[in-house]
Amino acid sequence: MTAVWTSRVIATAVIALGLAAAVQHAGGGHSIWLAFFAVLATVLMWATRVVPEYLAAFVFFVVCVVGLVAPAPVVLSGFTGPAAWLVFSGSVIGASLGHTGLADRLGAKLAAVANGSFPAVITRVAVFGTALAFLMPSGMGRIFLLAPLLAAFAQRAGLAKGSRGRAGVMLAGLYGTFFPAMGILPANVPNNVLAGLLETTGLGVPTFSEYLLLHFPVVGLAKLVLLIGVLVVMFRDVGPVPAPQADPPPPLTTGEKRLTALLVATIGLWLTDSLHGISATWVGMASALVCLWPGTGLLPPNPLKSVAFEPIIYVAGVVGLGAVVGHTGLGATLGELLTVVVAPLAGSAIASYVGLAAVAAGLGPLVTAVGVPAILTPIAPVLAAATGLPVATVTMSQVLGFSTIFLPYQAPPLAVAVQIGALPVREAVRACLILAVLTILLLWPLDVLWWMLLGRL
């Protein structure tokens, strides 16, 4: 009954927005209030997931264009930026991993090494999940790939559904592929949205290697170590896991060999983008082009049917929302409000950096991790002027903030993992909260020290 009433309320709000947009279109006027309510309604729909994310994005597009909130090129700018195309290329590569059977082979490799004491199993599974983030740019794709592989491994290892051992394995793999990936530029949607908005706003996108140097040592690697420690303590009562029985794997097929070579080349180009100057977006798109090419055997005859377009529309909606926030003046207004919060920190680069990260982390539960860069990136120049920090430092401080996830719903891949039953709700929430608190207490100071070592603070 609650779901029915929620659906009716949302439908009524969307109809009201549509009518307001039609009236404003007829009058030819421009009201910042329509922009405000369109942004607010969209962010709330994303945060609560009362409707699919892509549907909320479509509502935003229609209301803003019909209501003359901003020109269509601004509203739809997410489709022309790099973020949506990074997600597209990740979806294509993920579909190719499944089609060629390379995903199953990786799962078998995981099963072969994940045995012994439970802390050792958690460590190996989490490291495997993080390593996969370098192979697959799409966080959602990795979740859908890993969930069945981890479930199959748990079953073969005798970890029954609903058992604490199975919960620990699932958390290690899925959290291990999500949280450390915040330090890898194309590996999660918030990173991609940040990169897309940095390009559309002209603030400058860091290279893959620069982003990796700034964030992966702490937000990635140290977060992985912290995650393993948290899970080892949480599941200290689980006994050793025996090696599951498995037949010797068959030789690599032609498709698997081709995809392996393609992935090696793709990762190599991502890691050396500072040398050749080709962005991670177009390296990924080139790889997707190879996968889609007829006759390669990397995808079925109708390849686009294997590609999930919903995340692409979602990301385009988030980037478009950020562009509208900047175009309509909402960003400037929000910037003035946030300036009051961070202005007292001016004069101390460290305090300003941590304060900006705290603002980003505080916004996360309200607008989700994806919404944080959509709101803060357009107003980065205002915040830079208030704190005295370079604009690049202001924009990169968001990563420390939006990577601090308090609850799974803040991150669509984790929320989906909970919904499909891959993650037990109670343990997922508990691990998230503990990890967030320890991240603030331990990793934030470590991140400050790392940036000081790099000469960025």
pLDDT in tens, 57-100: 999 999 998 888 888 898 898 888 777 787 788 778 878 887 88
Are 125 and 172 contacting, i.e. CB atoms less than 8 angstroms apart?
A: yes
Supply the pLDDT for residue 453.
95
What's the average model confidence in pLDDT over 399-417? 85
pLDDT in tens, 190-231: 888 888 888 877 788 888 889 999 999 999 999 999 999 999
Name every residue whose Cβ is closer than 8 Å to that of residue 359 and which is 6 or more positions away in sequence: 338, 341, 342, 376, 401
pTM of the model: 0.74
Q: Domain residues of the chain, as ranges?
A: 1-69, 82-306
CA distance 259 to 292: 12
Amino acid at 103: A
Supply the pLDDT for residue 375.
82
Token pair recorded at residue 90 = 């990740």
Closest C-alpha among 314, 328, 312, 337 to residue 378: 328
What's the average model confidence in pLDDT over 246-275? 83
CA distance 319 to 322: 5
445 vs 86, higher pLDDT: 445
Residues above pLDDT 90, as percent of the chain: 30
